Structure 1
Amino acid sequence: MTGFTLHLLRHGEPETPGLFMGRTDGAPTAEGIDACVRQSEGIAFERLITSDLQRCARAAEAIGKTRNLEPASDARWRELDFGAWEGQAASTVDADALARFWADPDANPPPGGERWSSLVSRVSGAIGALAPIETLVVTHGGAMRAALHHLCGFNQRQLWGFDLPYAARLSFRIWRGEAPDAQIIELRI
């Protein structure tokens, strides 16, 4: 059975860090874009995919220029939609509601926001649609955690244990069968 490598790269620092930015299309900093380009150096990939939000797309465009690759945009790689919490710092959100969300984001989504299971479903669909070639996806921290859940079976508590700062990269080796089977081959921060 042949496998392929899937690299997931979190976007670089946005101009307004520390806010809930799911569907919010915040611009990345030049330093954030550069950090993503550096993380892509030395890894092999034939296809480049990006979330459609500019904090990812601009980094993907910069990476693509170094490889002569045109990034393909796929909205399934977006961050969780934080609904009424969009654009807010965690310190300004009701502490009890936020605690319930962290404990069980599917049962307690942000008001007007997306359920965790919806994020997992769309990221799983994006992974399932990939042709088995070396791929780099520039995406978001929540989408990366959804991929970890889908590919490796980590539960919610384990997922929060992964530190995925801006420009962090996860690399997986994926084998396709009745269900995808994957192994994390690298976490680079």
Structure 2
Amino acid sequence: MNLHLDMLRHGETTGGGGFRGRLDDELTAEGWQQMRRAVAERAGWSRIISSPLKRCARFAAELAEGQDLELEVEPAFRELDFGAWEGLTAAELMLDRSEQLGRFWADPYGFTPPGGESLMVFETRVLTALERLADRWAGERILLVTHAGVMRLLLAEARGLPRERLLQVEVGHASLFGLNVGFRDATLWLEETCLPF
């Protein structure tokens, strides 16, 4: 049996845009409303899994309480750590680090921001955590409240995209996507699905 995984990205945050991986921003009032709208009229999850960062976990806690669901906080589903780029925007990086930024956009697996987490390490932690979920909760429908980077990685994998196209996957605030997750010949596989409700 497959795990049915619905993924919800956090809404708008107080920190604004830019590279905000390990920074623990709060949701704005609009961010809360974006997430509430995204799941309005939706039900059927057996449990909620969330990144530990406040922009995900606080909404996940509200939703879990409102739908009487178990909430599990999973550190492996936190965002990519951007190292020295944390808190900076692309426009700010263009002023004196445009060559580095260009390398990252062109090949995120081949270039890691200074002091940051490599995409290979990020991929390993996210996919390892997903394997645990698929093994533990096969046959269930789970909501994962997480970040754009995690969702891009999983959607790119499900869509069979080459690694250099990872950052082209669009994941807006409070976006909701569905995946079937299972094992074929003991190997994790992902398939994007339409949300059923």
**Alignment TM-score, normalising by the size of structure 2:** 0.87
The one-character-per-residue Cα deviations of 1:129-152 (angstroms, maximum 9, x if unpaired) are: 112121111100001112224444
Equivalent runs, 1:65-80 vs 2, <5 Å = 65-80=65-80
Displacement of 1:52? 0.6
Letter in 1 for 2:99: D
Number of residue pairs the alignment of both structures matches: 186
**What SS does the corresponding residue of 2:180 show, helix, strand or coil?**
strand
Letter in 1 for 2:30: E
Q: Which residue of 2 aligns with 1:135?
A: 142
Q: Which residue of 1 aligns with 2:16?
A: 17
Whether contact under 8 Å (1:77, 1:123) holds in the other structure is: yes
In structure 2, what is the Cα distance between the partners aligned to 1:151 and 1:99? 26
Q: Compared with structure 1, are the counterparts of its residues 186 and 161 closer, same or farther at alpha carbon in structure 2 (3 Å cutoff)?
A: farther
Q: Which residue of 2 aligns with 1:180?
A: 188
**What SS does the corresponding residue of 2:194 show, helix, strand or coil?**
strand
Letter in 1 for 2:182: W
In structure 1, what is the Cα distance between the partners aligned to 2:177 and 2:128? 18
Whether contact under 8 Å (2:8, 2:145) holds in the other structure is: yes
Structure 2 gaps of 5+ residues are: none
Structure 1 gaps of 5+ residues are: none
In structure 2, what is the Cα distance between the partners aligned to 1:71 and 1:144? 19
Q: Which residue of 1 aligns with 2:116?
A: 113
Letter in 1 for 2:66: T
**Alignment TM-score, normalising by the size of structure 1:** 0.91
Displacement of 1:182? 2.5
- Give the percent of matched residue pairs that are identical in Structure 1 and Structure 2: 35
Displacement of 1:43? 4.3
Letter in 1 for 2:100: A
Q: Which residue of 1 aligns with 2:7?
A: 8
Whether contact under 8 Å (1:124, 1:150) holds in the other structure is: no
Displacement of 1:36? 1.5
In structure 2, what is the Cα distance between the partners aligned to 1:147 and 1:52? 18
Equivalent runs, 1:24-173 vs 2, <5 Å = 24-41=23-40, 42-93=42-93, 94-130=97-133, 131-132=137-138, 133-173=140-180
Displacement of 1:171? 0.4
Displacement of 1:58? 1.2
Whether contact under 8 Å (2:9, 2:176) holds in the other structure is: yes
Displacement of 1:10? 0.5
In structure 1, what is the Cα distance between the partners aligned to 2:10 and 2:152? 14
